[in-house]
Structure 1
Amino acid sequence: MRFHAPMAGMTMAILMTSTAIAQETSDDTVVLDEITLTASRTGATESSIPGSVQVIEAEDLAIRLRNGETLDRVLGTLVPGFAPSNGTIGGASQTLRGRSPQILIDGAPRTSELRGFSRELAMIDPASIERVEVVKGSIARFGNGATGGIINIVTKTPGDGQQTDLSFSHVRRLNGLGLRLELSRSSMGNLYDGDGNQIPSDPLVGQGGADNFTRQGGAIAMDWSSGSNEVTARIGAYSMTQDIEYFTDYTTNPVSVGTTPYTGRDVKDISRFFNLTWRNTDTALGETELTLFGSDTDRRAAFVEAGIANPLYYPVSPTNPMQDPNAQSELSTKTLGSRLTIRTPLDRWRQGAQVRWGGDMGYDDVTQTYLAGRDLIAPMTQKSVGAFAQLDVPVGNVDISAGVRAERFSLTGDDFTRPDAVQLKPTGLYLLPSVNVTGGTFDYDAVVGNLGAVWHATPELDVFAGISQGVSIPDVGSFTRRAMAPNPFLPGQTVPFASLQPEAQIVNTAELGLRYSGQKVSGSLSAFVSTSDEGTVFDSATNTVTQQKEKVWGGEAALTYIASDALQLGAVLGWQEGNYDADQDGGSIWVTVCPSDQTSLPRP
């Protein structure tokens, strides 16, 4: 028996830029050096990576951000394969090639991969961005999370001289020490769609929207150099609050602003973070880089009335089925980590060959409660350690790369009691008594690799092919939050954490493509397929999260034409489709879905 519900995802945009461009088309052509991608972690340039890579400079971002677009919307327009913005401050449904991207800031995560509201793109100050690097495909070099690729936001450094600009940043350099102070504040009122209708403040259940918010933040960036040593650092904090006036009416299509005054507390996002990197270009082993990072983030979701969009809610008590007004979700994540990367030349063996190797350690602490302080998920801590090696060897006009990464995660879930819940069904209200979940410590191990090649066919044309793997621990918190006993209607039952824990997800990606960079015309074209045996699927009818085999495939294209010194034209196209094994029997029932649907998890 086969069941097909075909649905494909496609994005296309026609882009026009009328600002001056860096590369001139006259005889005095300015040729810029290739950017070394922080997101590659290996010191690689775009032309040497056997996969799809995209770099968006601050100038291209600034034009759109000044026009009122948010960063997630800009990336959804400029990056083929990145799902369009969902109109909220949470990007849970904004996937890259149908899978979860890993969001990094200066190569470091800001929140835990174990449980998150996916707000990183909405929270960063746009004025602090130097560029955005996107590396697509399954990538394991940064550890847990990048099954769809990496989006690395590179922030501005102090630079040279002294400067103050309208974004309230001040740069000052004293000999080898550079300092950059950033202060920002932004606010937004009501938002309206193209027909003039007001967009509700919570258009996607519990996420919180992009209207009626105030955000303020500050950061200090520093760099210092002496001889072959260089130190860079960034420390900062931000806070955001969203004031919702009315509940969302989810019975209309599209959803609309309701008439019932909002009774929950403000949506919020508060974070403190640091990132410190030491680099030495001339050690006995080669160029060595050590990064220390950490963050402490508190987030509150929007309160959602029980109803068609929220059929499972927390009651006042087992004998009072009314929705608890304090059952508004708050998430706290703390992360600490270190990353060591060494680039060792192998010129004695083969000219231009090198090996990049290193190791990581990480610590995550995650809790989620509602306003009264009761746990909604099992409080969790995770320790991780990983090691990787990447070999790059030029052979004539071909650059060959191969790598491997070994990872171990040690996850500890505390004992907790999943609160009483009420399930709304057409036949009435059903009480789901609380369930006691016994914790424990569980280890995940994974060894993944990559192999690829880039053929430099001409100075302008590169052809690339590669296979790669990525590893991710799915949202463990969502599994424990939906803990169900064998008899879900019998009170006082106990289930072990081991029966709820998801499997580590390993994603395999194969890609074939080309890149062309001429004087006036540049572009790229690629096709990919990715598979996994442990895809995460949420069933809203049963409020359960399960894992099944899945496959995603698609293609992407981008084209840029420099018409004149003041006009640049471009277009991007992305298409993707996927399916998953709905009955988990190895293939008898496959459901074809839009990849962004199959990887989205429910409300926070």
Structure 2
Amino acid sequence: MKYTHLSLSSFWGVVIFLPYAVFAEEPSSEEDSSYQMDSVVVTATRYAQDIDKIAGAISVIDSKELQQQTLVADDLTSVIANLVPSFTPSRQKLSNQGENMRGRNVLIMVDGIPQNNPLRNGNRYGYTIDPSMIERIEVINGASAVQGIGATGGIINYISKGAKPGDEWKQTIGSRITSNLHNDGAGHKLHYSLSQFDEHYDLFLAGSWQEQGLYYDGNGKPIGMNQIQGETQDSTSYNGLFKGGYKFDEGSQRLTFFANQYRLKSNNNYIAVPGDFKKDIPGTVTKGKPEGKPVSNSMDIYSLTYNHYDLAEGSLTAKLFMQDYNAVFGQALWWPTPDKSQDQGVIKSSKKGFKLSYERSDLIDIDDIWVAGLDGLQDETTQELAQSGLKVTPLMQYRSLAPFIQGDFMIGENLRLSGGVRFENTWVKVDDGKTLYGFGNAGQHNVDIIGGEQKFSKTVFNVGAIYNFTPELSTFVSFNQGFGLPDIGRILRGNWVGGNSPNNKGNAPINFNTMPAVEPVVTDNYEVGASYRNDSFAISSSIYTSIAKDGANLKLNSAGTYDVERQRTEIKGYELKATYHALSKTKLQTMYSHVEGQVDTNGNGDVDSDMDLRNLSPDRLMLAVDHEFNNNLSGRIQYNHLFSREKKANGAGSKQNFDGYGLVDFSVNYNMGNYGRIGFGVENVLNKNYINYFSQIRNHSSYYFSGRGRTFSLSYEFDL
């Protein structure tokens, strides 16, 4: 498979050269209404819409909140985990395995471009863009199909920064230093941006470099590394971003080009020392060079968007995009051949797609808005081994074509109805192949993989209603369906056989054409919620039930890895968020979530056992206080508590226990005017020593790690 992309050296050459090439132009400060997006969300409906008009649980993390959280931990999964109910705690690792929302998979996007891999989920799609490149984050809690495949648990859309009205060749340079008071625990970050906005064109150019040191726990010991799945500690990352737009035809039409390149690579300075799960000894590290190539993540994203804002009394949006993804994993036990046990996995994926939509308002003159469109996606993915060059999976190809229509309108003065339908047409093709020696079927090595094609068509719906009792009090009810695929690559690679089993030669091929396990997963999400808001107080809550009649859960096998298991799953939960402005300068915030799930273990159609905690999040409570000391100085202190949980033993696995813990974080910002902006953050203020959630419920010594202890950060940003 071929991958074409602009090299990082070329990108940084443009970063250095462009300011000198364009400074001669005359700037303009004319405002553009397309940038006034503070109160709208576009992921939930495919058109710009007020949050109050969306029947569902929606969160928008704005630039101020994002800045507060990244002062504490410059990690997007930690930001989401801190501020979004029912999202699992961050693993503080490169891998986002075990991180989900409401017990199901999350579709992660960058400017509406999907980052997930539908054919082979390597759990690396949480790190595709640096936080310094993001303006805000839009989050849908619960199943949704409006953006396509993968959102059985919700959608997270990272909205990248861009030029704003008033930017006249504005340059911003920033730095961040982190420390846990250990010599090898320091981290450094630099970022730069250039932005220009006028009535005809705008551009935004940015770059960042970050080097992270070793993490330490509350006892002052180095935190262990998962050198197979990957780490963010002891790593170096780069990000380059360009966004440029040109308006023509008196501003009624616009072209926008977006490019983002992200690289993260291990520095390979430490060797993992496994812990002991049964003896409650977390893993650590020792100095040394791991075998094989450094673990790395590489992501290139490009898109070209055309907007026509005045076409037949409506607006047209057409987006073309492509994405190249390459993830190198660490040395692991693969048994690619009878005489070789160790090797490194590599997942390569290439996406191309388009999104076409036409939006029209007031067709029936009842405050209505409609959007109709067509989405297309093509994905090619393979998993191979870096050293032996053998295929873990054959080449897999995915194509989808999905027309849709979505809209909402008022009935009377108080009732707003919404609804939509999407027709998913999916085609999956798999080449012929053979499993590795260490994987097979029915205890046999090197079995044949019989490739072929499978086609699926699914119609997914969403309906909702919002009733406003008063201008302050409203309630909603909704039904949404999400559409996803199981991890087909994991199924095709076969079951673990290992290197010591007899090399049986029987007829036990893996036939893709007859596999019921690759059937799509459709999730039904039923939800009821209410909200109240006045000048000083806001509260919202929702109760939901999520049902997948043929879900695809991960089940731990005897080899310590996960297999895909098709089971009926039922997940129920509730969420609550509240904000109170106690004083004009003081804001109190709280959030609580609860989720529980059951599965059908005997295939009779009725759930009969608790869901594996690997697929769920613990109950959690967040409390926070924000205070503005004056116009220039503000601070925030927050407390996140995860409650203990236990899963009783059943036929599917062993007993799971989670001992809860609570963490306190603190951040403060000071605007020094012409001298720049400075920020200070402390993660885990009380230096709590704890084993993180995933490590506790994974039940495996190689995944048993402490969480980060007290860590300080100091940030400085200056406009040139």
1:579 and 2:598 equivalent?
yes
Report the residue type matching 1:194 in the other structure: G
Tell whether the 8 Å contact from 1:385 to 1:408 is kept in structure 2 after alignment.
Answer: yes
Q: Note closer, same or farther for the CA distance 1:376–1:492 as it changes in structure 2 (3 Å cut).
A: farther
Give 1:477 shift. Answer: 0.7
**Paired residue secondary structure (2:615):** helix
1:303 and 2:315 equivalent?
no
Q: Which residue of 1 aligns with 2:589?
A: 570
Please give the alpha-carbon distance, in whole angstroms, between the structure 2 residues aligned to 1:444 and 1:357.
Answer: 22
Q: Which residue of 1 aligns with 2:259?
A: 235
1:345 and 2:361 equivalent?
yes
Give 1:298 shift. Answer: 0.7
CA displacement 1:189-222 (0-9 Å, x = unmatched): 10012222211121xx732122001001211111
Q: Which residue of 2 aligns with 1:383?
A: 399
Please give the alpha-carbon distance, in whole angstroms, between the structure 1 residues aligned to 2:126 and 2:439.
Answer: 34
**Paired residue secondary structure (1:477):** helix
Please give the alpha-carbon distance, in whole angstroms, between the structure 2 residues aligned to 1:455 and 1:248.
Answer: 57
Please give the alpha-carbon distance, in whole angstroms, between the structure 2 residues aligned to 1:467 and 1:446.
Answer: 16
Equivalent of residue 577 in structure 2, options 558, 570, 591: 558
Q: Which has the higher contact order (CA 8 A, sep 6+)?
A: 1
Please give the alpha-carbon distance, in whole angstroms, between the structure 1 residues aligned to 2:583 and 2:224.
Answer: 42
Give 1:492 shift. Answer: 5.9
Give 1:503 shift. Answer: 1.2
Equivalent of residue 322 in structure 2, options 294, 308, 312: 294
Report the residue type matching 1:220 in the other structure: F
Tell whether the 8 Å contact from 1:577 to 1:595 is kept in structure 2 after alignment.
Answer: no
Q: Which residue of 2 aligns with 1:122?
A: 127
Give 1:303 shift. Answer: 2.2
1:458 and 2:470 equivalent?
yes
Q: 5+ residue gaps in structure 2? A: 1-35, 174-190, 618-693, 704-720
Q: Note closer, same or farther for the CA distance 1:157–1:375 as it changes in structure 2 (3 Å cut).
A: same
Q: Which residue of 1 aligns with 2:206?
A: 182
Q: Which residue of 2 aligns with 1:29?
A: none
Please give the alpha-carbon distance, in whole angstroms, between the structure 2 residues aligned to 1:591 and 1:541.
Answer: 17
Please give the alpha-carbon distance, in whole angstroms, between the structure 1 residues aligned to 2:490 and 2:37.
Answer: 45
1:590 and 2:609 equivalent?
yes
CA displacement 1:73-101 (0-9 Å, x = unmatched): 11101101111101211212111111001
**Paired residue secondary structure (1:529):** strand
Seq. identity, %: 25
Please give the alpha-carbon distance, in whole angstroms, between the structure 1 residues aligned to 2:446 and 2:480.
Answer: 42
Q: How does 1:385-464 map to 2 (within 5 A)?
A: 385-395=401-411, 396-421=413-438, 432-464=444-476
Q: Which residue of 2 aligns with 1:512?
A: 528
CA displacement 1:20-70 (0-9 Å, x = unmatched): xxxxxxxxxxxx986221212133221111110010011111122123341
Q: After the TM superposition, which of the residue ranges 546-555 and 222-231 deviates more from structure 2?
A: 222-231
Q: 5+ residue gaps in structure 1? A: 1-31, 305-312, 424-429
Give 1:407 shift. Answer: 0.6
Give 1:489 shift. Answer: 5.8
Please give the alpha-carbon distance, in whole angstroms, between the structure 2 residues aligned to 1:254 and 1:209.
Answer: 20
Q: Which residue of 1 aligns with 2:232?
A: 210
Please give the alpha-carbon distance, in whole angstroms, between the structure 2 residues aligned to 1:92 and 1:588.
Answer: 25
Give 1:483 shift. Answer: 4.9
| Count of matched residue positions in the alignment of Structure 1 and Structure 2 | 550
Please give the alpha-carbon distance, in whole angstroms, between the structure 1 residues aligned to 2:518 and 2:428.
Answer: 11
Give 1:416 shift. Answer: 1.1
Report the residue type matching 2:108 in the other structure: I
Q: Note closer, same or farther for the CA distance 1:588–1:276 as it changes in structure 2 (3 Å cut).
A: closer
Q: Note closer, same or farther for the CA distance 1:339–1:488 as it changes in structure 2 (3 Å cut).
A: farther
Q: How does 1:133-212 map to 2 (within 5 A)?
A: 133-160=138-165, 161-162=167-168, 163-166=170-173, 167-173=191-197, 175-202=199-226, 206-212=228-234
Tell whether the 8 Å contact from 1:534 to 1:547 is kept in structure 2 after alignment.
Answer: yes
Tell whether the 8 Å contact from 2:439 to 2:495 is kept in structure 1 after alignment.
Answer: no
Equivalent of residue 317 in structure 1, options 337, 346, 351: 337
Q: Which residue of 1 aligns with 2:41?
A: 37
Give 1:225 shift. Answer: 2.0
Give 1:370 shift. Answer: 0.8
Give 1:405 shift. Answer: 0.7
Give 1:499 shift. Answer: 3.7
1:475 and 2:487 equivalent?
yes
Tell whether the 8 Å contact from 2:256 to 2:305 is kept in structure 1 after alignment.
Answer: yes
Q: Note closer, same or farther for the CA distance 1:285–1:359 as it changes in structure 2 (3 Å cut).
A: farther
Q: How does 1:484-523 map to 2 (within 5 A)?
A: 490-491=504-505, 493=507, 494-500=509-515, 501-523=517-539
TM-score, normalised relative to structure 1:
0.86
Q: Which residue of 1 aligns with 2:96?
A: 91
Q: Note closer, same or farther for the CA distance 1:354–1:263 as it changes in structure 2 (3 Å cut).
A: same
Tell whether the 8 Å contact from 1:580 to 1:591 is kept in structure 2 after alignment.
Answer: yes
Equivalent of residue 221 in structure 1, options 234, 243, 252: 243
CA displacement 1:458-516 (0-9 Å, x = unmatched): 2222211101111101111111122589x996236433112445110000000001122
**Paired residue secondary structure (2:144):** coil
Give 1:240 shift. Answer: 0.9
Please give the alpha-carbon distance, in whole angstroms, between the structure 2 residues aligned to 1:458 and 1:191.
Answer: 51
Give 1:352 shift. Answer: 1.5
Tell whether the 8 Å contact from 1:97 to 1:595 is kept in structure 2 after alignment.
Answer: no
Equivalent of residue 378 in structure 2, options 356, 363, 366: 363
Report the residue type matching 2:341 in the other structure: Q
Give 1:237 shift. Answer: 1.2
**Paired residue secondary structure (2:89):** coil
